[in-house]
Amino acid sequence: MRIFDPHIHMTSRTTDDYERMAAAGVRALVEPAFWLGQPRTSAASFVDYFDSLIGWEPFRAGQFGVRHFATIALNPKEANDPRCRPVLDLLPRYLDKDAVVAVGEIGYDSMTPEEDEAFAAQLALAVAYDLPALVHTPHRDKARGCERTLAVVAESGIDAGRVVVDHLNEVTVKLVRDSGCWLGFSIYPDTKMTPERMVELLREYGTERMLVNSAADWGRSDPLLTRATGEAMLLAGFSDDDVDRVLWRNPVEFYGQSGRLDLSDLDVAEKVDPQTGNSILRGGS
């Protein structure tokens, strides 16, 4: 099973996680810029964070054979802090970088006028820099937040096929599917989405435009839930090819729209068991 985690905050994870992820089949990932739990107090603090996302963190990932990409943005939560707003002026130089494959995470947290403004400005940057956009949906008031998110996306003029709307669930899936945007699902130990519920959504809505991520960060989360979802899909009767589409080909197709997703020299060929013709699951299981 080859896995591309399209949303995971490795800055908050340890080398043990990298080791376990590599053993489970994770070969590439995207780390979106977000908040760090502790609110930041200046734009300079973001410079160090962004530099880490395109410097130290890819180096760390590389030690475990994992290819690391990033998305860069001022997140919705900190867009509300006037001390952090100057981050918007720093973004252009990061959006030119090789491993920056989208603008994100942008979107809404509390749906304030400040968030409106930062969201629209950053969708415009995505268009200007010819990059896809990763859009976070609010954890509170999610359904209305999702509707408003889609309206802002439509108004921005960005192609819906270049936008992923993330952290979806049973309530918001249909809305986003009908919009033409990609659908992101964050599989969590006990909150956002579980592997079993994800399998049900894949049964109902199919595998097209569906992205499964662990969104693992500094909160209670698990970087191996992408793999667990793949296994739950197989148990439920999905084929190896379905799993490969959801866990590898879909994220490659979505972020590949940046023109910057360099997966060369990465060991990602599917190995097939000559006896059975089935793909061999990596990671010793």
Partner 1 sequence: MTPDSLRAALRGVPDPDWLDAALRQVVAEPTAITRLFPAVGRRCGRAALPDAPGWTADDAARVLLLTSLPGEHATYAESLYRHGDAAERRAVLRALPLLPIGAAGVPLLQDAIRTNDTRLVGAALGPYARHLDPAAWRQAVLKCVFSGVPLAVVADLETRADGELAAMLAALAAERHAAGRELPADATDLLDRLTAALPREA
Output 117 or 130, the one with its CB closest to partner 1: 130
Angle ∠(40,93,81) on CA atoms, nearest 5? 25
Query: Which amino acid is it at 205?
Result: Y
Output 219 or 259, the one with its CB closest to partner 1: 259
Pair of tokens at residue 24: 């489970």
Output 50 or 238, the one with its CB closest to partner 1: 50
Selected binder of partner 1 within 3, 8, 29, 54 (CB under 8 A): 54
Q: Assess 66 for contact with partner 1 (CB under 8 A).
A: no
Selected binder of partner 1 within 98, 130, 208, 273 (CB under 8 A): 98
Selected binder of partner 1 within 6, 58, 184, 195 (CB under 8 A): 58
Q: Min. distance of Cβ 260 from partner 1 in angstroms? A: 6
Output 101 or 181, the one with its CB closest to partner 1: 101
Please, are residues 194 and 187 in contact by the beta-carbon 8 Å criterion? yes
Binding mask 224-263 for partner 1 (x = CB under 8 A): -----------------------------------xx-x-
Segment contacting partner 1 (CB under 8 A): 18-26, 31-39, 50-58, 171-179? 50-58
What separation in angstroms does the CA of 189 have from each of 11, 27, 86, 197?
Answer: 19, 22, 35, 12
Residue ranges in contact with partner 1 by CB under 8 A? 54-56, 58-59, 93, 96-99, 259-260, 262
